[in-house]
């Protein structure tokens, strides 16, 4: 009987380790802000009413969190400015861990992601933007897979930036004076990775939602497949008139 009990204890220990291993191995951190008017998607404010822009960001963020949580064996957290932490926790109904970053700006946030999670034993950590909920989950799975053989993984955007970056360790120099939000962000990141002799894998090139043209591109995709980002698809229906005016101004009726 003692032998059987000991075997049960050993098996339970193995089961617990097996059960928790995936979450310890794959960490996805969404870079976000509290959805306040005038502070999110500011480039879209030139094209749409302020309430529409704020509502859009709320939908994008909620759909992004849902996308992240749909992945199997991935622990999810949100990284945000310290002043946004409580508001985001309330907005997301405490559905994910909300972590305050050190310092200000996106570059500081990215450094904080890897200091917090890669240094804490998370072997594969990916920082992901909050405005690409229409991305296929397979792309995120592929990014984690690339980190099994590469030091760094990057998801390029068509405009010269990137929608995700992942690593297995902390590399502070990667994001110093990063120039995020510029057309040279990807180029600068790749140059730093090369200088640090980091092997780099790339996922498929994609687009996030920054400007009016991105919205015009996304609208027909979500009409065909609203389940990809259901809250964002509902936003398009609610603000259909404003979007029609936007297309008209760009001669795309």
Residue 16 forms part of a structural domain: no
Residue 1 forms part of a structural domain: no
Residue 92 forms part of a structural domain: yes
Tell me what the pLDDT averaged over the chain comes to.
87
Residue 110 forms part of a structural domain: yes
Q: Judge whether 247 and 213 are in contact, CB under 8 Å.
A: no
Residue 215 forms part of a structural domain: no
Residue 147 forms part of a structural domain: yes
Q: Which structural domain, as residue segments, surrounds residue 176?
A: 23-208
DSSP 48-64: S-HHHHHHHHHHHHHHH
pTM: 0.86
SS3 state at 247 = helix
Token pair 């099994």 in the structure block, residue: 148
Q: What is the pLDDT of residues 9-66, one digit of tens each?
A: 344 433 333 333 344 589 999 999 999 999 999 999 888 999 999 999 999 999 999 9
Sorted by sequence, the CB contacts under 8 Å of residue 146 that are 6+ apart come out as 153, 166, 201, 203
Residue 112 forms part of a structural domain: yes
Domain of 134, CATH number, reads 3.90.550.10
Q: Quote the pLDDT of residue 9.
A: 39
Residue 9 forms part of a structural domain: no
Please give the tally of structural domains in the chain. 1
């Amino acid at each position: 009987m003692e032998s059987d009990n000991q075997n049960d204890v050993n098996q339970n220990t193995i089961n617990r380790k097996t059960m928790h291993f995936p979450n310890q191995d794959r960490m996805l951190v969404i870079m976000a802000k509290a959805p306040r008017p005038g502070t999110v998607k500011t480039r879209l404010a030139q094209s749409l009413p302020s309430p529409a822009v704020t509502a859009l960001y709320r939908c994008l963020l909620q759909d992004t969190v849902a996308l992240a949580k749909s992945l199997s064996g991935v622990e999810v957290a949100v990284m945000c400015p310290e002043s946004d932490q409580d508001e985001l926790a309330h907005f997301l109904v405490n559905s994910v861990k909300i972590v305050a970053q050190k310092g200000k700006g996106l570059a500081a946030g990215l450094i904080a992601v890897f200091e917090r999670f890669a240094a804490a034993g998370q072997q594969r950590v990916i920082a992901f933007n909050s405005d690409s909920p229409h991305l296929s989950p397979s792309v995120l799975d592929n990014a984690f897979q690339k980190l099994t053989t590469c030091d760094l993984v990057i998801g390029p955007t068509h405009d010269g930036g990137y929608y995700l970056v992942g690593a297995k360790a902390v590399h502070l120099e990667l994001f110093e004076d990063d120039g995020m939000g510029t057309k040279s962000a990807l180029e600068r990141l790749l140059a730093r990775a090369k200088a640090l002799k980091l092997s780099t894998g790339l996922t498929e090139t994609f687009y996030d939602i920054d400007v009016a043209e991105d919205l015009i591109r996304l609208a027909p995709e979500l009409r065909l497949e609203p389940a990809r980002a259901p809250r964002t698809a509902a936003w398009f229906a609610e603000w259909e008139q404003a979007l029609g005016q936007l297309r008209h101004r760009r001669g795309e009726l």
